[in-house]
Structure 1
């Protein structure tokens, strides 16, 4: 069924084996060597007990990773290695994978109505254009986006709903946490995070904020409260007024805190807002205002000014958007734009219909047609 192997077909095979060298834990039970790094999976006298304990610990702590190693996806602010580069790096691992040209070619798409939820960042993938394309390719595959009953929607809320069995699959703008893998294992199934697009975080300010750009160090100091006036970063004598969603909302905020703020949390001067729409409105009406959001949510805005960013403490500023008014796919793919990330579909590996639905949805978005629609939605295709 394309690159996503349905675990229902593995019931008669030996249990998957985790590699103690690279951590890949989907090696077939009959494999002599790891499909990723080639390390022998067994010693001559058989698999020592300690190896099995390591495999179990790896499952609980890291979860199952099929499409790409978590270490490769989650390291640093930039996590934008394109699909082709992954295939070149791990040819033995990807030689079994078939990526489909059109959505209609994707097999094993179940019939029924399936609930999904999660990230507000991925809202463009829930557009009428994309949903219509999915329905045209597979009319029986019905999708219904579900908001949480209590609280705001977001990646964290979607993961919680997926763990509770309220969703068939979920969308996420951040990688899964170790604690979430553990919670899934405690409930008798695995979660798998599968990247389908690349996104960047755009930083925007009030139109009258006259600075050339910011580097990541300055951005960190602004949102943690160390820098409080635009004069400190080359601008006018004007107080800085930062806006952000609450940390409990997860997703983009969680990613920003961990990768830009280095998990230091927001300073007391940061004003809480509900969503990107409110952030844009407040920054546009507040002299000295600054906020951040997923690039596709900012690209068409004319009431704020988007700032170029530089890595570390440098001054080599890179814009998130091209002169044509589109996301700079080259800068996002190469990592020259400082804040990029992967966007994921989270699949519930439970040997059931939910797993089939999540796998099918991911394959549909990773088809050639699906990736073109991903780009039309403002994201960068991963293949």
Structure 2
């Protein structure tokens, strides 16, 4: 059963069991499905269920913490309180701002630029920063990157915020939460849409998208499927129903089973639908899955299956990433080489299906804008771009 809460896996089982099909240890990765998309470990291997009859250490710790918190509250209520030095970014009003009644906290000159280190970035507020959105950004929300930012700016407290009940994480959801004042910063794997820009203006602020990385969309098949690669037009014809058997593209006589997340569920399927399919509808043969993890599992057990994901998510032993050619007269280029993203091909454009990843800033001349500009500047710094590369993406800055 899938978990609605994210969980982090580093490829090292905690339950004492052996997992021979696991691809081994890796950098911590935030997952949303039942299995890790990086190594295939189930959630229970990292967060084991408590054994029957054993004392519930977590419950005891939580109980003790509640007692301490209660005592602390009593002391807080009766003890004189100094002025707090840290401000939380509260959800902004969804009503249009009235400049005559609001004193701007941020100068209009607050700009996105570049620095050498995270610590050199100026005007970083001491705030709790709610951020989230695209699941593609999960490697950029790793504990190592959060810790690096916290070390450089201790008052800048990043906090990943889950979407409201009934909504799935994704670029569109993150931008919606930013518009509604639930997020301070949104992360998106697709550009902001015109209707989103316009809605922001009706609410008295503007949205700005800042490119911070380059990512590739990889297409993967069952590892037993023998096919050298596909062209962009063949991919389009497969997902729109014009090509239905692998023998039509040089493979075996086997029905094709295209697999995708719903178009509206995230920036990756939205980008695929718009840029690769040209806005054409999915064929009736396309099987929809709730998340990338489920898609990978489905293709792994479906001989004729094909799916797609961000390139770093396609590094799996249970599937095979396909080389892609832009046109029939051009060579096939792999999105993954060995156990690493083919960053050279993504950077020089020889891999044909790439996209930019964006930090979305709420330009409201309040703390949200100051925090958004500071975060973008940190990711765009020399040190931040090295973190981007370590996370499996191509830095936007050369």
TM normalised by structure 1 equals 0.74
Alignment of 1:20-169 (within 5 A): 97=113, 99-149=114-164, 150-169=166-185
Residues 235-256 of structure 1 show CA distances to partners (whole Å, capped at 9, x for unaligned) of 0000001110001113000000
| 2:317 paired with 1:317 | no
Shift of residue 312, structure 1, vs aligned partner: 3.2
| Distance in structure 1 (CA, Å) of the matches to 2:259 and 2:150 | 38
Q: Which of 352, 358, 361 lines up with 1:344 in the alignment?
A: 358
Residues 74-121 of structure 1 show CA distances to partners (whole Å, capped at 9, x for unaligned) of xxxxxxxxxxxxxxxxxxxxxxx5x21110111111102111110000
| 2:308 paired with 1:210 | no
SS at match of 2:312: helix
Shift of residue 8, structure 1, vs aligned partner: 3.1
| 2:373 paired with 1:359 | yes
What is the CA RMSD across the aligned residues, in angstroms? 1.7
| 2:367 paired with 1:269 | no
Provide the residue aligned with 2:264 in structure 1: 248
Provide the residue aligned with 1:180 in structure 2: 196
| Distance in structure 1 (CA, Å) of the matches to 2:277 and 2:383 | 37
| 2:319 paired with 1:221 | no
CA contact (8 A) 2:134 2:169 kept: yes
| Distance in structure 1 (CA, Å) of the matches to 2:341 and 2:191 | 22
Provide the residue aligned with 2:273 in structure 1: 257
- The count of aligned residue pairs is 293
CA contact (8 A) 2:108 2:365 kept: no
| Distance in structure 2 (CA, Å) of the matches to 1:369 and 1:282 | 38
CA contact (8 A) 2:106 2:367 kept: no
CA contact (8 A) 1:215 1:314 kept: no
| Distance in structure 2 (CA, Å) of the matches to 1:313 and 1:171 | 35
Q: Which moved more, 1:351-360 or 1:305-314?
A: 305-314
Shift of residue 141, structure 1, vs aligned partner: 0.4
Provide the residue aligned with 2:340 in structure 1: 326
Residues 153-191 of structure 1 show CA distances to partners (whole Å, capped at 9, x for unaligned) of 100100111111111110000001111111111111100
| Distance in structure 2 (CA, Å) of the matches to 1:124 and 1:178 | 28
SS at match of 1:279: helix
CA contact (8 A) 1:106 1:363 kept: yes
| Distance in structure 2 (CA, Å) of the matches to 1:362 and 1:7 | 18
SS at match of 2:248: helix
CA contact (8 A) 1:113 1:141 kept: yes
SS at match of 2:337: coil
Provide the residue aligned with 2:246 in structure 1: 230
Provide the residue aligned with 1:92 in structure 2: none
- Stretches of structure 1 that go unaligned for 5 or more consecutive residues are 1-5, 12-25, 27-65, 68-96
Shift of residue 7, structure 1, vs aligned partner: 9.2
TM normalised by structure 2 equals 0.71
Residues 254-302 of structure 1 show CA distances to partners (whole Å, capped at 9, x for unaligned) of 0000110001021111101111111111100111010000001112x00
Provide the residue aligned with 2:385 in structure 1: 371
- Stretches of structure 2 that go unaligned for 5 or more consecutive residues are 1-103
Q: 1:7 to 1:347 in 2, by over 3 A?
A: farther
| Distance in structure 2 (CA, Å) of the matches to 1:329 and 1:287 | 29
Provide the residue aligned with 1:87 in structure 2: none
Provide the residue aligned with 2:215 in structure 1: 199
CA contact (8 A) 1:218 1:313 kept: no
Q: Which of 322, 335, 343 lines up with 1:307 in the alignment?
A: 322
